[in-house]
A and B are shown apart, each in its own frame.
Chain A
Amino acid sequence: MKRPSLYLFVSLLLILSFVLASCAPTAVPATELPQASAPEATQSAAEAETITVIFPKHEADLSGAFESRIREFENQSGIKVELIQSDWDSVANRILPEISTGGSAYDVVEFDNGWVAEWCGAGWATPLNDFMPAGYTDGMIPGLVDLFSCPDKKVYGIVWNNDTRFFYYNAEKLAAAGFNEPPKTWDEFKQMGISAKEKDVVSYGMAPFWNQEWSLGNEFHFWTYAFGGEIVDEKGCFLFNKDPNTLAALQYMVDSMKDGVSNPAGMTYNQAASQDAFLKGDSLFMPQGIAGLMAYTKDASVSSVDGQIKVGLVPGARAGMSAALTLPEAYAIPAQSEHKEAAWKFIEFMTSRETNKALAQEIGVLPIWTDLYADADLTAKYPFWSEFQAQLSTARGLSKLTWYGDFVDISTAEVHKALAGEQTAQEALDNMASGLSQFECKP
């Protein structure tokens, strides 16, 4: 009976080694830095209030800049912060079970633009007006404040990530194709794209991210806005199937797949793939690029277009029109939180002008305070922000609907079908209306 005892021995050995491995760093709160504990020791640790904060990592935050600010907050306020930072999807999927079942594990949570109406309807967030000093939001970009208000006119979130998207183009390749100015209308956009492709300067005018996933809903909003169209009105009544501009937008998207402006592979691309193609120099335009794209262009491990990229205004259906999409994320305090004052102090600190400026300086976070766009230090470091500023006043957010999840679900399927050529743009919009008919507002 030698063999059984042999493998018993080996498995015991394996167990031992694994147990040793797991014993070593036990229960490490993932974000505790060694130097944070020193100043804490001077305060009576037992009385330090602890709040749990969960929000995604900022796209540009490769150096832990947000975390450093949080540690500074801990020092200044004496409130300990249990920080949970991961990717957007994970954060969303973690928050939902906790908040929807009345849990109080989190004190400050991520609050995405797309969730506002849902949370308002469900009553999951605390109105911040109870904590904000009067006039706190004066001086913030107005659109950002409105996006996070509920029908009761109270503010429920303060933005930490002003994720407005901008129009980037490869100036060098555009010039090689014979154009010196970026397009002002979508017709010009199309001409330039096709021309550059024919001259073999680029593979395609753009490689859009039109995979059948959540971000296609964003794209639908962007193109609709860019053509001056509407999706729903303030009451949530359908406009997308009635507004001719919306139809024109969708038609343009569909046509771009056929006439060579869009890379056909765009139907399978997510935002990362789209950005990859642009940074490689295979696309001429990036109509919806993140604010931090310029920093990526300088990174040789992902980009071969350093120095070639410029920022323009989003083209419109006619010259002079422009609109952009903003996908901001805010901090909110769950209704069930047991440390609301401390949570507010956190939010106040992290969204203050000082912190905003520091983060902008360090990693290029787009400020939420309008006066920071005129700040000397920042404009010196990011000269292209002047182009951003022109765009920011035209930025619009996602539709505020309690049924936004269903909207994305159905619209992405129908739009994708139209992009594939399996149905017309009009049919797509009609199918969307019938698929969402249970949410149609009653006259």
Chain B
Amino acid sequence: MPRALKRFFLYLAVAGIVIWTVAPYLWLIISSLSLKIDLLTVPLRWIPPRLTLENYYSLFFTRGSESVNARLFFHSLGNSAMISLTTMFICLILGVLAAYAIARLRFKGSNMLVLLMMATQLVPPIVLVVPLYVIMRKVDLLDKHLGLILVDISIVLPLVIWLMRGYFASIPSELEDAARIDGCTHLGALFRVILPLSGPGLVSVMIFAFIAAWNEYLYAFIFTNVDAKTIPVLIGEFSTKLGLEYLRIAAAGVLASLPPILLALVFQRFIVRGLTSGAIK
């Protein structure tokens, strides 16, 4: 196939991917800038006749209690940021160590621990929530950042371990053996050989861990109330007895998905080729 034609199909495919990914989100943004009655017109106008910031305004100001909602929104945003970042870092550290142990140091019982870890992931969290609530209440960790961080770690850490184990396992062991022959300890091999080589994997897992903690809903809902409320919980409250307030959710959703995207934007450059080329040589 001639090169130009190949390029054409490539860009066509890329365009398709972009449209597939972005179209619903674009509709979300447009909805968040619309009035309800305009969204109900048939045939639907993709660009509504009137654009409005009312939905965003209502996130921050409600007539009668102006400053409260703005403070609440930013407060929740801050909570989410702090909890997600802390969870991410702790899970990265603990996860990398554990993943290395599982992937490379095949010791007795490692298999069983992996299975145990997986078993904890299979149980629907809904059924763990009430006993956990009692425990958290006893140790006074309800509605506290630390409480949510601890339970989020129990969700995010297995994910990190599994993914990192996969990346570690795909690095040929010859490299590590070479390092050990040179006198490295296991840990030294981990830090000097394995981690740099699994750079792209590490960065992607970091992004995932952050987003998983950022978007976590059930535990955040049950274990926070006012002080440590995170953004997904706040968004979940935008409903009345009649149903979800779609437009407000859209506006809040647009804002709430920005930090993870920014993070991905900053770090995606590190998911690049080049860190491993030449390693085998």
Assembled-state Cα–Cα distance A10/B269 (Å)? 13
* Residues on B with beta carbons closer than 8 Å to the beta carbon of A443: none
Is A46 engaged at the interface, CB distance under 8 Å to the other chain? no
For residue A93, which residue of chain B has the nearest CB?
B221
Is A97 engaged at the interface, CB distance under 8 Å to the other chain? yes
- 0 or 1 for each of A70-110: is its CB under 8 Å from B? (1 = yes): 00000000000010101111100110011011010100000
Is B9 engaged at the interface, CB distance under 8 Å to the other chain? no
Is A30 engaged at the interface, CB distance under 8 Å to the other chain? yes
For residue A64, which residue of chain B has the nearest CB?
B64
Q: Nearest Cβ distance between residue A22 and chain B, in whole angstroms?
A: 3
Where chain B touches its partner, the secondary structure class is helix
The number of chain B residues touching the other chain, given as a range, is: 35 or more
Q: Nearest Cβ distance between residue B254 and chain A, in whole angstroms?
A: 18
Which of A55-63, A169-177, A390-398, A407-415 contacts the other chain?
A55-63
A18-B81, A59-B242, A280-B40 as given contacts; A103 in contact with B74, CB under 8 Å: no
Assembled-state Cα–Cα distance A302/B246 (Å)? 12
* Residues on A with beta carbons closer than 8 Å to the beta carbon of B239: 87-89
Cβ contact of A301, chosen from B35, B74, B263, cutoff 8 A: B35
Is B63 engaged at the interface, CB distance under 8 Å to the other chain? yes
Q: Nearest Cβ distance between residue A71 and chain B, in whole angstroms?
A: 10
Assembled-state Cα–Cα distance A98/B221 (Å)? 13
Considering only residues 1-59 of chain A, those with a C-beta below 8 Å from chain B are 3-4, 7, 10, 14-15, 18-19, 21-25, 27-34, 56-57, 59
A10-B266, A68-B64, A270-B243 as given contacts; A301 in contact with B37, CB under 8 Å: yes
* Residues on B with beta carbons closer than 8 Å to the beta carbon of A86: 237
Considering only residues 238-295 of chain A, those with a C-beta below 8 Å from chain B are 270-273, 275-277, 279-280, 290
Q: How many residues of A contact B (CB 8 A)?
A: 61
Q: Nearest Cβ distance between residue A410 and chain B, in whole angstroms?
A: 20
Assembled-state Cα–Cα distance A380/B68 (Å)? 33
Q: Are A18 and B82 in contact (CB under 8 A)?
A: yes
Q: Are B226 and A84 in contact (CB under 8 A)?
A: yes
Q: Nearest Cβ distance between residue B106 and chain A, in whole angstroms?
A: 28
B-binding residues in A (CB < 8 A) = 3-4, 7, 10, 14-15, 18-19, 21-25, 27-34, 56-57, 59, 62-65, 67-68, 82, 84, 86-90, 93-94, 97-98, 100-101, 103, 105, 163, 270-273, 275-277, 279-280, 290, 300-304
6 contacts between A and B (CB under 8 A): A23-B78, A25-B75, A59-B242, A84-B226, A90-B237, A272-B245
CB-based closest 7 A-B pairs = A22-B78, A272-B243, A64-B64, A18-B81, A271-B242, A63-B64, A86-B237
